[in-house]
Amino acid sequence: MSDSAGSRPPHGPYSRPARPDRRKGWGTGALVGGMLVAGLVGGGAAAEGAVLLAQPAASSPASGSAAQVSPVVVNDPGSTGAVAEAAAKASPSVVTVSVASGSAQGTGSGVVLDSAGHILTNTHVVTIDGQAATPAIQVRTSGGKVYPATVVGTDPLSDLAVIQVRGAALAPITMGDSSRLNVGDRVVAIGAPLGLDSTVTHGIVSNLDRTISVASAAAPQGGDQQQGQGGQGFQFAPMPGQSQQPQAQGTVSLHVIQTDAPINPGNSGGALVDAKGALVGINAAIATAGSGTAQGGAQSGSIGVGFSIPVDYARRIAQDLISSGHAAHGMLGVSVQPAAPAGNPDSSFTVGAQVTRVASGSAAEKAGIRAGDVITRVGARTVGDPAELSAAVSEQAPGTSTQVTFTRNGQSHTVAAVLGTASS
């Protein structure tokens, strides 16, 4: 979603390039029982059947150290397909992130943003699912060099974080435009699933209007305050070998790109790129057919339903974190509950978010929204339940004027609301 007018410079180290004409090429049973972070691989003990990375050795930022890795190789440039070309272009900009704090440890992925060494990843990666406040972090490049990294800032409400490597010549990724994606477009996921560096998988965009809710131990107390009692309550999966799952403080709701490109634990923070190798999403979570954990802490793998945070949103959060160490989110100022279809309160479907309370002095109160109203749209985003409302509002910057559509006594109304600031 767009920033408020004048709040972001038009150009920057990873500002969006001018939009080219859309290419015509490329675009061409089990019930989901849980939601896993696409997350961290590691822990006090290896899970049965899991392949884990060894801890990389410490090294100075200036020189790094060589390691046994398998970077993407193009043996015959004359015969490559589009997937190979996209992978070859983007892979040097994707790193493996190793995090340790006491007995807790894990491995995820990250994406190089700029020549200053800023790397975008997930909050749940750098906090080890909320267990680490001051972790030791190392980064391994696709070329096998290892560098120490420090946390620039984390944002639990978007599950995004920025870390930094100093003194290393890293290759920034090319920024794409998630607003121009179509369902059916081919995409490539790059990261370190199960600790396997420089792994490339590909598939298509399978949905562009998906919201997931995840219980997070890293979230602020109460999580999405404006969400009320909505959301499905999925939880981040514990790391392999973890004796127990960290207790969640709240639920965060994320609007995501859904893809069938195989994404597994360890892919978190890695890149989802388009046909040209440009970043369109940050891989964050996967759906599973079961509970997501086994007796010994093992995690379920990909079943073809993965989720990535759109780059248009991730770019704004990264800019906030780099400039101030904190990220800002819009706040409407309402408590809501699921709204059932008219005349069918027992329906399993919902048709919006019904306002139960409006905070005094909030954006909602100033816009004339009242308790009992059913919010059905925020800006261009359809709102079908409280989680979708929370995601649609929080992905916008404070101060943004957005159109809110709601029904009252069977009549539809649209008002302009200037969003306040949510605590993070």
Closest CA to 309 of 122, 101, 75: 122
- CA 32 vs CA 35, 289, 323, 346: distances in Å: 8, 5, 39, 22
Distance (Å) of CA 171 to CA 16, 111, 174, 303: 17, 9, 9, 32
What pLDDT shows up at residue 297?
44
Is 264 part of a structural domain of the chain? Answer: yes
State the pLDDT confidence band at 418, using cuts at 50, 70 and 90: very high
Q: Which domain holds residue 236?
A: 31-71+82-326
Let me know: does 69 contact 197? Beta carbons within 8 Å: yes
pLDDT at 17 over 90: no
Q: Do 314 and 412 share a structural domain?
A: no
**pLDDT averaged over the chain?**
79
Q: For position 68, what pLDDT does the model report?
A: 52
Cα distance between residue 153 and residue 162, in whole Å: 6
Query: Distance between CA 64 and CA 141 in Å, rounded?
Result: 10
Checking if the pLDDT of 187 tops 80, the result is: yes
Give the pLDDT confidence score for residue 214 in this predicted structure: 77
Neighbours of 48 (CB within 10 A): 11
The two structure tokens encoding residue 47:
């899970």
Q: Are 275 and 204 in contact (CB under 8 A)?
A: no
CATH number at 378 reads: 2.30.42.10
Do 39 and 160 have their domain in common?
yes
Query: 286 and 367 in one domain?
Result: no
Residue 295, pLDDT score: 38
> What tokens were used for 365?
């109160």
Q: Which pLDDT does position 348 carry in this prediction? A: 85
Kindly state the average pLDDT of the residues 5-25: 41
pLDDT of residue 228: 41
**Is residue 56 in some structural domain?**
yes
Stated pTM of the model: 0.79
Q: Domain for residue 8, yes or no?
A: no
Torsion, Cα 66 70 75 80, to 10 degrees, reads: -130
Helix (H, G, I), strand (E, B) or coil at 129: coil
Same domain, 304 and 384: no
Residue 19, domain member (yes or no): no
184 and 307 both lie in a single domain: yes
**Which of 254, 269, 394, 268 minimizes the C-alpha distance to 327?**
394
- Does 13 score more than 90 pLDDT? no
Q: Express as a percent the part of the chain with pLDDT over 70.
A: 69
Structure tokens at 200: 């490339």
Taking 70 as the threshold, does the pLDDT of residue 217 lie above it? no
H or E stretch covering 356: strand 353-358
In a domain, 228, yes or no: yes
Q: How far is CA 282 from the centre of its chain?
A: 5
Per-residue pLDDT band for 60 (boundaries 50, 70, 90) equals very low
Q: Residue 129, by phi and psi: left (phi above 0), alpha (psi -120 to 50) or beta?
A: left
CB 124 within 8 A of CB 159: yes
**In this predicted model, what pLDDT tens digit does every residue of 118-156 receive, in sequence order?**
999 999 999 988 788 889 999 999 999 999 999 999 999
In this structure, the answer to whether residues 183 and 293 fall within a common structural domain is yes
* Boundary residue ending a domain (311, 326, 341): 326
Residue matched to tokens 């984390």 = 154
Give the end of a domain, one of 288, 307, 326. 326
Give the list of residues 6+ apart from residue 239 with CB closer than 8 angstroms, or none. 39, 40, 41, 42, 43, 104, 106, 128, 129, 297
What pLDDT score does 290 carry? 58
Residues catalogued as catalytic: 124, 159, 268
Is the pLDDT reported for residue 415 higher than 90? yes
Bridge partners (DSSP) of residue 147 are 139
**Angle, CA 399 vertex, CA 15 and CA 223 arms, to 5°:** 90
In the structure encoding, which two tokens stand for residue 113, read together?
């943003």
- Specify the pairing of strand 234-235 against strand 199-216: parallel
Residue 29 has pLDDT above 80, yes or no: no
Cα–Cα distance for residue pair 306/36, rounded to 1 Å: 9
Q: Can you tell me the mean pLDDT for 25-29?
A: 33
Residues 216 and 112 in one domain: yes
